[in-house]
Amino acid sequence: MADLSIEVNGIRFPNPFVLASGPPGTNARVIKRSFELGWGGIVCKTISLDHSKVHNTVPRYGKLTDPENKKKVIGFQNIELISDRPFELWLEELAECKEAYPERVLIASIMEECEKDRWVEIVERTQATGVDALELNLSCPHGLPERKMGAAMGQDPELVEQVTRWAKDAATIPVWSKMTPNVTDPTIPAKAAVRGGADGISAINTILCIIGVNLETLRPMPTVEGYTVPGGYSGRAVLPIALRHVMEIGRSCPGVPVSGMGGVESAADALQHMLLGASTVQVCTGAMLKGYEMIAELCAGLEAFMDKQGMTAVSEIVGKSLPYFSTHADLVERQRQAKREKAGEAQRDDMWKGDIASETDSLVTD
């Protein structure tokens, strides 16, 4: 049986599959359940020092379904904020989870306003619970940017560098900075995080979207008292976009581990993230739609892939497909070269056929 574990920043993950920050890690009970079922790690729902500022709406989710099969969810929108549970309660629960499952990896997702003291406080108090690493949420695309948090930070490379440095200076455990995909060039904030000292990069958070408009009421969805805001898109539909971000970040930040996420619903999806540079793969919407039990298929699929490819370590998969990216001009040149080689072969074949023909002719005449 293949060894599914992988070491990242000195942390041994029993397998590379991690539940992403969001509803799957919303309290100690579900975090423990995910460990019971075999997830390699979990990133808790993002926490902040003052939960009283967090006000969620109902509804806050919207789904894009297959027109042929309304039960099949293609894409998922949320306008959910970070955790609205008290920070002190979270500290107790994180410590409790880590104590109960010391072998499993628990990562705390944290977010604060753009003030050094607040970041230092949240880092110091959170890491004191014994969590293995911190993920800085610099990427939530809705609600929080109105308070200059989340993606408002992640879209500003100077802030990404600054906040990452504040966190790193206070941290004694690895720090991952989580990127927003709502930028033109994802390598700019990723490199800024690395300059700030990030030990790893997580990507992607959700993509700004509008899930649809109700043609009866003419109201965009999800509708809250008749109104809405653009939200974050996730689930299967975002996989190709996430893969591109992971690839670009992986190539631009060599040596810095990437935790890839976006659109993972199966082992095949996760493997593609890994082949493009992710050493761990996070799952949020997939687990919400398919249940935590999907971890069994992820591990079985990874193992079958490694056996088929003759790989013995998960790290062998990471970034294996990256060398096959090039420039468009290079593709054109390669194609020209291939045509030239084919034409050369054809010419050689013709000559060879000609030789045979003349030989046969000479045989006949002889």
Ligand X SMILES: Cc1cc2nc3c(=O)[nH]c(=O)nc-3n(C[C@H](O)[C@H](O)[C@H](O)COP(=O)(O)O)c2cc1C
Cβ closer to ligand X: 129 or 205? 205
272, with CB counted inside 10 A (0-12, 13-18, 19+), is buried
**Which residues are registered as beta bridge partners of 76?**
63, 234
Task: For residue 233, give both structure tokens.
Answer: 């898109």
Minimum CB–partner distance for residue 254 and ligand X (Å): 23
Residue among 50, 35, 172 nearest 102 (CA) = 35
Span 313-342, contacts to ligand X by CB under 6 A: none
Span 86-115, contacts to ligand X by CB under 6 A: 109
- Per CB under 6 A, the list member of 234, 259, 279, 280 interacting with ligand X is 234
Our finding on whether 191 is near ligand X (CB under 6 A) is: no
Is residue 150 within 8 Å of residue 36, measured between CB atoms? no
Our finding on whether 284 is near ligand X (CB under 6 A) is: yes
Catalytic residue among 44, 97, 140, 299: 140
- Per CB under 6 A, the list member of 161, 285, 295, 299 interacting with ligand X is 285
Our finding on whether 262 is near ligand X (CB under 6 A) is: yes
Query: Which x/- pattern, by CB under 6 A, does the window 45-64 give for ligand X?
Result: xx------------------
Task: For residue 122, give both structure tokens.
Answer: 């949240």
Our finding on whether 73 is near ligand X (CB under 6 A) is: no
Minimum CB–partner distance for residue 5 and ligand X (Å): 22
Cβ closer to ligand X: 283 or 353? 283
Minimum CB–partner distance for residue 183 and ligand X (Å): 15
Taking 3-state DSSP, the helix, strand and coil percentages for the chain, each rounded to the nearest 5, stand at: 45, 20, 35
* Dist CA 42 CA 19 (whole Å): 4
User: Catalytic site residue 140?
Assistant: yes
Minimum CB–partner distance for residue 236 and ligand X (Å): 8
- Please name the residues in contact with 19: beta carbons below 8 A apart, sequence gap of 6 or more: 25, 34, 39, 41, 42, 43, 282, 283, 284, 287, 292
- Per CB under 6 A, the list member of 108, 122, 283, 299 interacting with ligand X is 283
At which residue do the structure tokens 């976006």 appear? 262
The amino acid sitting at 44 is: C
* Dist CA 42 CA 63 (whole Å): 24
Minimum CB–partner distance for residue 331 and ligand X (Å): 30
Give buried/exposed letters for 78-93 (b at 16+ CB in 10 A, else e): bbbbbbbeebeebbeb
- Residues lying near ligand X in the complex (CB under 6 A) are found at 20-23, 45-46, 76, 78, 80, 82, 109, 137, 140, 178, 205-206, 234-235, 238, 261-264, 283-286
Question: Which of the residues are catalytic?
Answer: 140
